[in-house]
Amino acid sequence: MRRVVALGIVNAGKSSLLSALADEENLFPSGDVPRVTREIQQETRGGLLLVDTPGLDAPDEDVELAFQSAISAHTVLWCHSLRMGELRPTELSALRRYKTTNGLWRTCFVLTHGDNVASFEIVRVVSKRIAEQLGEVFGMSFVGVGEKIPPPPPGQRNPRPFNVVGTIDYWRSRTGSGPDSERRLNRSGVPRLREFLLSLRPEGGL
């Protein structure tokens, strides 16, 4: 069983993403007010053990809990909502703390709400800025969405590119049918991410 833990600040889209990965709407309840997930919740669906955590701007002990749960993960999905623009100070400080757990190698950065912003231009601009911010935190070069990936420095691997997902698209496509739905499903980014997670060796690592 591959243990997948979602991390991120409140309303970063952790619960919606996990529900979509499980293909079960509202499996992890999410909502419009920033308080929904207060404790660790985990469900097993389709070969993945999905773990939802409290937001990283929650009280300190909750953050500790979230990090604890990430330590034993095969993959960490670090979520950030594109609607919120660049990474915030709270996220940056959480990332710096996260860096000390040496978890980068099993971390997958997911930009959520890709289908809920004004234009693709925003996805491009915001992800580029986030790549810079992550680069500052981790001392590696990240690339934004649609950017060319430079060859990695000798002896190193490039960090994985960002996954952009949109759960509105995903659920829409699940209710419809035909080529439109197919396209929508692909655009949601969820199947690709799910496939990727399932392709991981159960002992972990990217």
| Residues contributing to the site for another protein (CB under 8 A) | 9-11, 31-35, 57-58, 81, 83-86, 88-90, 113, 115-119, 121-122, 125-126, 128-129, 166, 168-169, 180, 183-184, 187
**Of residues 48 and 79, the one with the C-beta less far from another protein:** 79
What span, in angstroms and rounded, lies between the C-alpha atoms of 124 and 188?
16
Least distance between another protein and beta carbon 49 (Å): 27
43 to 5, 20, 151, 177: CA distances (angstroms):
11, 12, 38, 28
Least distance between another protein and beta carbon 181 (Å): 10
Across 75-92, b (16+ Cβ under 10 Å) vs e yields bbbbbbbbbbeebeeebe
**Of residues 46 and 176, the one with the C-beta less far from another protein:** 176
Least distance between another protein and beta carbon 142 (Å): 14
Beta strands 48-52 and 41-45, pairing class = antiparallel
Least distance between another protein and beta carbon 51 (Å): 21
**Of residues 21 and 126, the one with the C-beta less far from another protein:** 126
Least distance between another protein and beta carbon 11 (Å): 4
Helices in the chain by DSSP H: which ranges? 14-22, 60-71, 89-99, 120-138, 167-175, 178-188, 190-199
**Of residues 26 and 72, the one with the C-beta less far from another protein:** 26
Q: C-alpha angle 174/24/104, rounded to 5°?
A: 105
**Of residues 106 and 128, the one with the C-beta less far from another protein:** 128
1, 149 contact by CB (below 8 A):
no
